[in-house]
Amino acid sequence: MLDNRGLRGNRGKFERGQRVTVNMTKGQAISLQKSDGGTLTAVRMGLGWQAAPRRGLFGSRTREIDLDASAVLFADKQPVDVVFFRHLVSDDGSVRHTGDNLVGGVGQGGDDEAILVDLARVPVHIDQIVFTVNSFTGQTFQEVQNAFCRLVDETNGQELARYTLDGGGNYTAQIMAKVHRVGQGWNMTALGSPANGRTFQDLMPAILPAL
Amino acid sequence: MTAELVRGQNHPLPEVRLEVRVSAGKPIVAGATLSDEHGKVHGADWVAHPGAPTLPGLKVSRQAAADHRLAVDLDAVPQAVHRVSVLLALPSGVGGPVRFGAVAAPFLAVTCLDGTEVASYTITGLDSESAVVALELYRRQGAWKVRAVGQGYAGGLAELLTDQGLPEARQLAGSINEAVAQGLARAVAAPPPRTPDADRHRHAAAPAPGPDQTHGGAAHQGTSGSASPQQSPYGTSEPQGAASPYSTAAAQDASSPYTVGPQEPARSDHGAGSQPGPAPTDPPAAATAGGPINYTHPGRRTAAPPPPPPTAPLGQPGQPTQPVAGDATGWSMDERLYNQVWGMFEDLARTTAAYRSAVDFADSRMEQELDKVLSDPRSRIGGQGDAAREAARAKHTQLLDRAREAFDRDLAQLRAEADVVEPALPPAYARWDNPVWHGYRVPMETPMALRLGDLHLPESDNLRIPMLVRLPLERGLWIDSGPESGHASFADSGELRALALETATALAARILAVHPPGEFSVHVIDPAGTGASAFAPLVQTGVLAASPAVGAAGVADVLARLTQRVDLVQMAVRGGAPDALPPGIDPSEQLLIVNDFPHGFDDRAVTQLRYLADEGPAVGVHLMMVADRQDAAAYGPLLDPLWRSLLRLTPVPDDHLADPWVGHAWTYEPALVPAGSQVLQHVLTQVATARRSWNR
């Protein structure tokens, strides 16, 4: 529902709420119904990561790792729009990227990049939104630690679900999660499938099976 | 043969050894970045800049200058390089202009070594940006091409380099600025920033000890088509302004409320861009390196405008709240309404994008499904094919219905908002039929924006968005009286010309009416007197600076005076003495209306007009052409840059304006005075009275 500020309504900061996080495992799906039965209107997909410290003499020196979060909007398994660091807002305004973070790990455990989704405003033909993370600088996830994605109720700051990438692997991208329509509401599914690629375009073949 | 590129256009390069010539009128920094096939700059050693002017195959100037020649040898650049981006930036921290909107449109030409021009590009439409990617030379299937980019960055070099994926963008931007500042220290003094002399008295106000607020005058130029995200008033948190308040407090032309003299207490230009963002806007590193010391507290946030005042009580849960006029951020009602109108504009653009995309998808899916039915041999047996076709059509209708429902819901909401906003608008933003014009009083301060007309989309014909552009005008206006707009119904070109003149008169009257007395003068050039009846309201009430100039002599006289004025103000400003103008010079902003161009113009006059269009806006001389481009066809491409530098408006509804978010084609309708209304006379009479008493 377009409230009286319309798209302009959901740009505020959220306050930190108490945590009743679901720690998700690969393949698990949760429904985005509120505990009081209402449906969520706006969610934030937050991504965070830290560069793993290098072993050796200058172990305190870490290399900067630029991970990029992207969201691909699908209608009936066809990509319709994409939100990433070069296109920060979907044309319809329902999905917004808060901006590129080139180094990661600024806040210990905070979101480094976030994508806001105004579920109520997602165009009717869009039925899945897939969130991906890829390493723009080319390091593999072996050099990343504490990478996670979490879904936050943007209206009250409550964390709904968190999915932590366990153990780095020899790949440069992750298809993290998808948010998809189920009946009148939305579900989130943790995907966690590894892939290789520098930007989301490279990931398309890996995303399609997950739809 | 030179190709005059427009933004986004590309052109093949005949040779690999080239020169890129830049001229900008003001000292600027020119550099270049090398990037790989993904558009990524690998490190500081892939950037040629004044501190490191030579790279394999690339050489740039060591210092900021008004004219540059970049030498390029594309055979010599590393194989990994797929793109060479030529970038321009305003030197920061040296007291010069801080935004490209304040300097003449930069011009670039790619030439062969023998001097023949391959392609040229004038970067128009820049505003608050302080750095811009001008051109890129790129590999395409083994050959090199050039593309006009023109992507500006309000956050300066740091933001530009960050966008190119350079990890240590900020440090590099800092060191570039330092190198430039050192270069400038050796060179002649940089000309001080622009000082529209209408603002001269405001500079008397001491540079206020810095409010820790970066200048965020992200002004808009209407819908002129630039899709740069930095221009969105609702953009995410980009750092605004490129210099510390200390280096620019005296330089900003009264944009910051803290440098405003008593004459203009509430002029608050900043803030349109500095909404409370989700992250603090750090002062860019560029501000600290090389320039004056930045005393800004690093942890303190940019001052944000206060939130909107408490509005109507929230509606029932689940019900949309009642819209309220002024429901947006801003320091004044003026600014809040401005932001609200731009918010409605963006909402309508986006909700329409959602609707169109759903309809397109439904159409293409149905087409595919019908094709499949057709090619499936089984469908030829019995009713299977018909049933499948029926199902595909039903799915199509169902999706369209849902899309329409969502769209109608949003439209109803925006319409309700427009219904409360429109009556609340101040004169500068209001339609001529708004009752606020009947209670018109000559204002004491200039508003932040002006309504040029209405915008609407075909899907929502009865929802009109006011087209507001910031004042002072950044570009001249061109009211197109030609049949180019493709309106065959207006086959009578005389009728179209009359409407164009009426539009021009209404706009000129509006501009005069929203400025305080003595701050704005209007001149008219009407060589053959064909506009006499249309200009009558302006002439009879006596609001013009002088009666319309006629004949070649009149044209020459007005142009000579305005050109001289631009020259004198520029000289005074460059000499650092903006107050030292000769007594005969009118210190107010000027608007020159030119009718019947090029009638009565000789070559010299045409040259002067182009000069005014280029140099005028920065020193408060604006141009409004009422012209049919075909009339000047004899000049050939010579005048193309002139037409392109002007914002084209049409006297009849025409869909030629694009929004900055998704680029829909919006139909523009001019703001005309309703037929039979006396409001223009009423308003202009008051303006004339105020001018007389002010002159006394």
For residue range B304-336, list pLDDT tens digits in order.
555 554 444 444 444 556 788 888 888 888 999
Indicate the burial class of B693 (C-beta count within 10 angstroms; 0-12, 13-18, 19 or more): exposed
Partner residue facing A102 (CB), from B162, B328, B346: B162
Partner residue facing A80 (CB), from B234, B343, B361: B361
Decide if B212 is inside a domain. no
Interface contact flag, A80 B351, Cβ < 8 Å: no
Which 393-432 residues of chain B touch chain A by CB within 8 A?
399, 402-403, 406, 409-410, 413-414, 417
Interface contact flag, B165 A136, Cβ < 8 Å: yes
How many interface pairs between A and B have CB atoms less than 8 angstroms apart? 122
Decide if A189 is inside a domain. yes
Q: Is there a single domain that holds both residue B389 and residue B507?
A: no
Q: Given this model, what pLDDT does residue B250 score?
A: 34
Helices and strands in chain B, H and E counts: 12, 21
Asked if residue B598 has a cis previous peptide bond (ω within 30° of 0), the answer is yes
Decide if A22 is inside a domain. no
Decide if A2 is inside a domain. no
Question: Which chain A residues contact residue B275 at CB under 8 A?
Answer: 11
CA distance B409 to chain A (A): 8
Name the domain boundary from B154, B186, B218. B186
Name the domain boundary from B157, B186, B215. B186
Residue B653 in contact with partner chain A when CB distance is under 8 A: no
Residue of B nearest to A199 (CA): B38
Residue of B nearest to A115 (CA): B236
Nearest to B102 by CA among B79, B83, B126: B126
Q: Given this model, what pLDDT does residue B345 score?
A: 94
The number of angstroms, rounded, from the C-alpha of B261 to the middle of its chain's C-alpha atoms is: 26
Decide if A4 is inside a domain. no
Decide if A103 is inside a domain. yes
Degrees to nearest 5, angle at CA B18 with B13 and B20: 100
CA distance B570 to chain A (A): 39
Predicted confidence (pLDDT) at residue A96 exceeds the cutoff of 50: yes
Q: CA-to-CA distance for B274 and B389, rounded, in angstroms? A: 53
Q: Is there a single domain that holds both residue B15 and residue B93?
A: yes
Decide if A136 is inside a domain. yes
Question: Which chain A residues contact residue B399 at CB under 8 A?
Answer: 124-125
Partner residue facing A66 (CB), from B163, B167, B662: B167
| B36, B163, B314, B350: best to mutate for the A interface, most A CBs within 10 A | B350
CA distance B236 to chain A (A): 6
Question: Which chain A residues contact residue B40 at CB under 8 A?
Answer: 136
Predicted confidence (pLDDT) at residue A108 exceeds the cutoff of 70: no
What tokens appear for A52 in the block? 């793993």
**B203 sits in which H/E element:** helix B200-203
Q: Is there a single domain that holds both residue B646 and residue B544?
A: yes
Other CB atoms within 10 Å distance of the CB of residue A97: 24
What tokens appear for B184 in the block? 């400038």
Decide if B685 is inside a domain. no
Decide if A43 is inside a domain. yes
Q: Is there a single domain that holds both residue B490 and residue B597?
A: yes
Interface contact flag, B327 A6, Cβ < 8 Å: no
| A3, A8, A122: best to mutate for the B interface, most B CBs within 10 A | A8
Decide if B677 is inside a domain. no
Sign of the C-alpha dihedral computed for residues B582, B584, B590 and B594 taken in this order: negative
Question: Which chain B residues contact residue A105 at CB under 8 A?
Answer: none
At residue A58, the 3 state secondary structure works out as coil
What global pTM score does this model have?
A: 0.63
Interface contact flag, A92 B351, Cβ < 8 Å: yes
Q: Given this model, what pLDDT does residue B537 score?
A: 92
Q: CA-to-CA distance for B433 and B454, rounded, in angstroms? A: 13
Question: Which chain B residues contact residue A13 at CB under 8 A?
Answer: 278
Q: Is there a single domain that holds both residue B114 and residue B175?
A: yes
Domain encompassing residue B146:
3-186
CA distance B321 to chain A (A): 5
Question: Which chain A residues contact residue B80 at CB under 8 A?
Answer: none
Partner residue facing A123 (CB), from B162, B347, B354: B354
Decide if A122 is inside a domain. yes
Question: Which chain A residues contact residue B392 at CB under 8 A?
Answer: none
Rg, Å, chain B Cα set: 27
Interface contact flag, B343 A6, Cβ < 8 Å: yes
Interface contact flag, A1 B328, Cβ < 8 Å: no
Q: CA-to-CA distance for A21 and A148, rounded, in angstroms? A: 13
Which residue ranges in chain B fall short of pLDDT 50?
A: 186-291, 299-303, 309-318
Interface contact flag, B351 A2, Cβ < 8 Å: yes
Asked if residue B472 has a cis previous peptide bond (ω within 30° of 0), the answer is yes
Question: Which chain B residues contact residue A97 at CB under 8 A?
Answer: 236
What tokens appear for A155 in the block? 């209206």
Specify the DSSP class assigned to residue B224.
B
What tokens appear for A33 in the block? 């119904």
Q: Is there a single domain that holds both residue B587 and residue B483?
A: yes
Q: Is there a single domain that holds both residue B487 and residue B420?
A: no
Q: Is there a single domain that holds both residue B135 and residue B62?
A: yes
Residue A202 in contact with partner chain B when CB distance is under 8 A: no
Partner residue facing B167 (CB), from A64, A78, A91: A64
Residue A94 in contact with partner chain B when CB distance is under 8 A: yes
Domain encompassing residue A96:
30-210
pLDDT digits 0-9 by tens, B587-610: 789 999 999 888 889 999 999 999
pLDDT digits 0-9 by tens, B133-165: 999 999 888 888 999 988 888 888 888 888 888
Q: Is there a single domain that holds both residue B509 and residue B411?
A: no
Q: Is there a single domain that holds both residue B341 and residue B484?
A: no
Residue B280 in contact with partner chain A when CB distance is under 8 A: no
Q: What amino acid occupies position B251?
A: A
Indicate the burial class of B250 (C-beta count within 10 angstroms; 0-12, 13-18, 19 or more): middle
Q: Is there a single domain that holds both residue B143 and residue B64?
A: yes
Q: What is the CATH number of the domain that holds B629?
A: 3.40.50
Residue A133 near residue A190, CB atoms below 8 Å: no
Residue B42 in contact with partner chain A when CB distance is under 8 A: no
Residue of B nearest to A63 (CA): B167
Q: Is there a single domain that holds both residue B488 and residue B601?
A: yes
Structural domains in chain A (count): 1
First to last CA, chain B: 57
Nearest to B134 by CA among B60, B37, B54: B60
What tokens appear for B112 in the block? 């062969």
Q: What is the CATH number of the domain that holds A153?
A: 2.60.60.30
Structural domains in chain B (count): 3
